[in-house]
């Protein structure tokens, strides 16, 4: 299946549910729109679960072709971007850092962590053994890989859209929830955040990493910005709009300046439940 023959469902504004929006960018064959009522920037269509479950649309298959496509279009910027990604990895900015800092003074022998959009698992395994990793992913192949390693530590992985998968976990059972490079893909991000509010403990946290639509690079590159991806990236958050959506789900958002630098294409945020 290609981007041109997949089934697409129209979307309303995921922040305020308005149906009125104005095109802001045209990228190849699609438009990114801004809500006329609240200003939220989003893709007014979304592909279904089947597109991402396996085959060309699944992350493990789509990711290499996105990189190849970008190399062909803008080789210099893409090589610089890949080099930058290596640099950020070298600096080891990871959800583990935020979770460790938040839970350092908690004495429980077992802490439950849920990674929504966990892919093959990976970094959660670098958490201290007292953390029990759980996951959600819609790619069957990646979810099976994550389940094999998470179940060895007492957790499990659910393969389903997040809006359905979250009900499979015990309410109020998670010490930490991670959404790393996930929420920009989710057709119903407010529903998922509300689901997280029901799952996370009152003293727990949700760690979010998403592309930053307020990045200087987006302003400079315009429709050539690396954050625009059709049909995968359906939500384009700024620090302000992420905090607004999180507040609607019951969370307070904390972002230090280093978490939302306009020189980075991505931003981090820590959400904590409002009592």
Q: Which residues bind Zn ion (CB under 5 A)?
A: 13, 15-16, 18, 35, 37-38, 40
8 Å CB contact between 114 and 103: no
Half-sphere exposure of 194 (CA within 13 A, CB side): 9
Q: How far is the CB of 38 from Zn ion (least distance, A)?
A: 3
Closer to Zn ion by Cβ: residue 18 or 126: 18
Which residues share a beta bridge with 47?
8
Nearest alpha-carbon partner for 6 in 26, 29, 32: 29
Q: How far is the CB of 33 from Zn ion (least distance, A)?
A: 10
Which residues share a beta bridge with 176?
113, 205
Q: How far is the CB of 233 from Zn ion (least distance, A)?
A: 17
Q: How far is the CB of 248 from Zn ion (least distance, A)?
A: 11
Closer to Zn ion by Cβ: residue 100 or 188: 188
11: which residues sit within 8 A by CB, 6+ positions away?
Answer: 42, 43, 44, 45, 46, 187, 234
Nearest alpha-carbon partner for 25 in 40, 43, 46, 7: 43
Q: How far is the CB of 40 from Zn ion (least distance, A)?
A: 5
Q: How far is the CB of 43 from Zn ion (least distance, A)?
A: 13
Closer to Zn ion by Cβ: residue 37 or 100: 37
Closer to Zn ion by Cβ: residue 38 or 247: 38
Sheet with 131-136, edge to edge strand ranges: 157-158, 131-136, 111-116, 174-180, 200-211, 266-273, 251-254
Handedness of CA 62, 64, 69, 75 (dihedral sign): positive
Closer to Zn ion by Cβ: residue 20 or 164: 20
Closer to Zn ion by Cβ: residue 44 or 204: 44
Calpha distance 268→155 (Å, rounded)? 25
88: which residues sit within 8 A by CB, 6+ positions away?
Answer: 264
């Amino acid at each position: 299946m290609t981007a041109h023959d997949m089934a697409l469902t129209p979307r309303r504004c995921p922040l305020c549910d308005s149906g009125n929006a104005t095109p802001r960018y045209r990228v190849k064959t699609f438009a990114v729109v801004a809500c006329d009522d609240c200003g939220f920037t989003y893709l007014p269509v979304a592909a279904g679960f089947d597109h991402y479950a396996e085959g060309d649309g699944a992350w493990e298959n789509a990711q290499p072709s996105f990189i190849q496509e970008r190399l062909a279009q803008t080789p210099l910027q893409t090589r610089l971007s890949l080099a930058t990604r290596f640099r950020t990895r070298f600096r080891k900015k990871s959800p583990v850092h935020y979770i460790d800092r938040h839970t350092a003074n908690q004495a429980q022998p077992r802490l439950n962590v849920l990674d929504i959009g966990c892919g093959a698992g990976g970094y959660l395994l670098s958490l201290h053994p007292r953390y029990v990793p759980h996951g959600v992913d819609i790619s069957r192949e990646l979810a099976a890989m994550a389940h094999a390693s998470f179940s060895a530590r007492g957790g499990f992985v659910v393969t389903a859209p997040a809006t359905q998968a979250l009900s499979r976990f015990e309410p109020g059972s998670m010490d930490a929830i991670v959404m790393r490079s996930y929420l920009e893909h989710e057709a119903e991000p407010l529903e998922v955040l509300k689901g997280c509010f029901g799952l996370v403990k009152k003293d727990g946290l949700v760690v979010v990493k998403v592309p930053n639509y307020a990045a200087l690079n987006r302003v400079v590159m315009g429709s050539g910005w690396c954050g625009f991806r059709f049909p995968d990236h359906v939500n384009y958050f700024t620090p302000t709009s992420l905090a607004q959506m999180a507040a609607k789900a019951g969370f307070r958002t904390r972002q230090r300046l280093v978490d939302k630098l306009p020189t980075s294409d991505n931003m981090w945020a820590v959400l904590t439940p409002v009592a």
